[in-house]
Chain A
Amino acid sequence: MSALNTHSRLEKILKAGHLGVTSECGPPRGSDAEEVKKKGLLIKDYVDAVNVTDNQTAMTRMSSLAACIHLKLLGIEPVLQMVTRDRNRIALQSDILGAASFDIPNMLCLSGDHQSFGDCKSGQNVHDLDSMQLVQTVRYMRDEGKFLGGDAIKRPPKIFVGAAANPFADPFEIRVPRLAKKIACGAEFIQTQCIYNIDKFKEWIKRAADRGLTEKTFIMAGMTPMKSVGMAKYMKNKVPGMDVPDEIIARLAGVPKDKQAEEGVNICVEHIQELKEIKGVSGFHIMAIEWEEKVPEIIQRAGLYPRPQV
């Protein structure tokens, strides 16, 4: 797992044995790039790479690729998120080449939320490939230097390929086998769903480690600080595949409203500190939803700052 396949800083950091840190930026719902640049600059020095979401929750936004380019031009390393919902294999391959032309070195392959959650409920979905097949596609383009159709690619894309994993979705028994499948497809790093149920996550990663999976990929634990008890309740009850234990809700409810955000950050920091010690955790993916300004504080308090220079 030591030879480098790309120029990705994230890959270098993970392969050097450091805990990697990533965060995310949602592109704006308009054509003004300042917003995404601002968010990027805010966290630039605290993370190794920044994920740029691809029309998350199926809300139409500025394209992930365009936003990645804006960040890249500011010297921020992007992780291009790509969902299979909106583009067929021609468009996906084409965008992969477009990203590679700007030397965007990381990709996260996802299937994407169903369009019925977003602002185009009456739209078609594509799903020509699924997320695992997209992982395979990027690896094939990079490692074989070929298009899916078989023709050679001039200057194949050098992209470090990741996938998502949800340790909590049902049924639990297939969570590790599913991870194994993603790794078999070529996922070099994994960013997980937001973790609140630490015990269950530990159980999941232990099972993965027992199968040797944590030696084959870098698992970055997903962290999202709670802003309020309302958010915690919403996440628990409304967001599919999210596991928020009652004690988290109780803990947030136990402090005054104006202190809940602070308590949410405390919980997040404590969780990171706890998980740092767990075998198989290779880093953290901090998704502070519309709360990017908190990311530096979390990273500093969790002892993940300064970032290693590689």
Chain B
Amino acid sequence: MIIAKKKPIEEIIGEVENFDRILILGCNECVTVCEAGGKKEVEILASALRMNFMAQGREKTIDERTLERQCDHEYLEEIRADIDKYDAIVSLACGVGVQFAAEKYLTMPLLPGVNTVCLGANEDRGLWTERCQACGSCILARTGGICPVSRCAKRVMNGPCGGSTNGKCEISKDVDCAWQLIVDRLKALDKMEDYEKVAPIKDWSTDRAGGPRKVTREDVKI
């Protein structure tokens, strides 16, 4: 899923300072699961903002709403009828949701309430870690199911580099060496012979580098 992190409340306060009618808009998908932008976080942020302005003796309308998804037309359309009630929307969705809403409501200021971090997994309670960078051409079959693109700080395709120490990355003792993990897993799979296959120079044209990406499916288009 997409992992996001709540923006510091003072940053959001600064962004909404000059608006009087604000909608805090949550998303029921990824950001709910990673506890950054779901209904609960909407309630907390809205309450905090109301109190912030109340404490300053300022009156603002700060409403709450959470949509099923912000990356789909049909759910985003649900707020169309009410859109004129607001001067700005703080979206707690990932960057996709914020932009999709901005595209839909051209004259409505859309302010992000979270920082979108990565594509990751819920590794433990309160711990979300990166697993994929959406490079567009998956090589996991060759790397024991562990991704050197997202998990190696140097994105080394034939690792580990010389900085790998006791299974940890040179950038931090808290970061696993992706290539140590790959080797461990290749061993477990009894596929160590794969390790000696030199990974070819990667085609990055399917990555972000090749420009904004899209998937077109004629078979599902109507």
A–B direct touch, CB within 8 Å, in complex?
Answer: yes
Chain A CB within 8 A of B68 CB: no
Chain A CB within 8 A of B198 CB: no
| B contact face: mostly helix, strand, loop, or mixed | loop
Chain B CB within 8 A of A122 CB: yes
List the B side residues contacting A237 at CB < 8 Å.
Answer: none
A124 to B208, CA, bound (A): 9
Closest CB in chain A relative to B171 CB, distance in Å: 15
Query: Can you name the residue of chain A whose Cβ is closest to the Cβ of B206?
Result: A122
Chain B CB within 8 A of A55 CB: no
Closest CB in chain A relative to B118 CB, distance in Å: 18
A125 to B210, CA, bound (A): 8
Interface residues of A in 90-149 (CB under 8 A from B): 114-116, 121-125
List the B side residues contacting A122 at CB < 8 Å.
Answer: 201-205
Chain A CB within 8 A of B127 CB: no
Chain A CB within 8 A of B209 CB: yes
Give the number of residues in A that approach B within 8 Å (Cβ atoms): 8
Query: Can you name the residue of chain A whose Cβ is closest to the Cβ of B204?
Result: A124
Q: Is the CB of A125 within 8 A of B205?
A: no
Chain A CB within 8 A of B211 CB: yes
List the A side residues contacting B211 at CB < 8 Å.
Answer: 114, 116
A115 to B202, CA, bound (A): 15
Interface residues of A in 198-225 (CB under 8 A from B): none
Chain A CB within 8 A of B207 CB: yes
A121 to B205, CA, bound (A): 6
Query: Can you name the residue of chain A whose Cβ is closest to the Cβ of B210?
Result: A116
List the B side residues contacting A115 at CB < 8 Å.
Answer: 209
Closest CB in chain B relative to A58 CB, distance in Å: 12
List the A side residues contacting B202 at CB < 8 Å.
Answer: 122
Residue in A115, A116, A122, A123 with the greatest tally of chain B CB atoms within 10 Å: A122
Closest CB in chain A relative to B140 CB, distance in Å: 19
Closest CB in chain B relative to A149 CB, distance in Å: 17
Query: Can you name the residue of chain B whose Cβ is closest to the Cβ of A122?
Result: B203
A116 to B210, CA, bound (A): 7
List the A side residues contacting B203 at CB < 8 Å.
Answer: 122
Closest CB in chain A relative to B148 CB, distance in Å: 14
Residue in A116, A121, A123 with the greatest tally of chain B CB atoms within 10 Å: A123
List the B side residues contacting A121 at CB < 8 Å.
Answer: 205, 210
A257 to B211, CA, bound (A): 40
Closest CB in chain B relative to A1 CB, distance in Å: 38
A122 to B209, CA, bound (A): 9
Closest CB in chain B relative to A119 CB, distance in Å: 13
Closest CB in chain B relative to A120 CB, distance in Å: 9
A149 to B35, CA, bound (A): 35
List the B side residues contacting A124 at CB < 8 Å.
Answer: 204, 207, 209
User: Which B residues have a C-beta under 8 Å from some C-beta of A?
Assistant: 201-205, 207, 209-211
User: Which A residues have a C-beta under 8 Å from some C-beta of B?
Assistant: 114-116, 121-125
Sample of 18 A–B contacts (CB below 8 Å): A114-B211, A115-B209, A116-B205, A116-B210, A116-B211, A121-B205, A121-B210, A122-B201, A122-B202, A122-B203, A122-B204, A122-B205, A123-B204, A123-B209, A124-B204, A124-B207, A124-B209, A125-B209
Given contacts A121-B205, A123-B209, 15 further A-B contacts (CB under 8 A): A114-B211, A115-B209, A116-B205, A116-B210, A121-B210, A122-B201, A122-B202, A122-B203, A122-B204, A122-B205, A123-B204, A124-B204, A124-B207, A124-B209, A125-B209
Q: Which 3 residue pairs of A and B lie closest in terms of their CB atoms, listed nearest first?
A: A122-B203, A124-B204, A124-B209
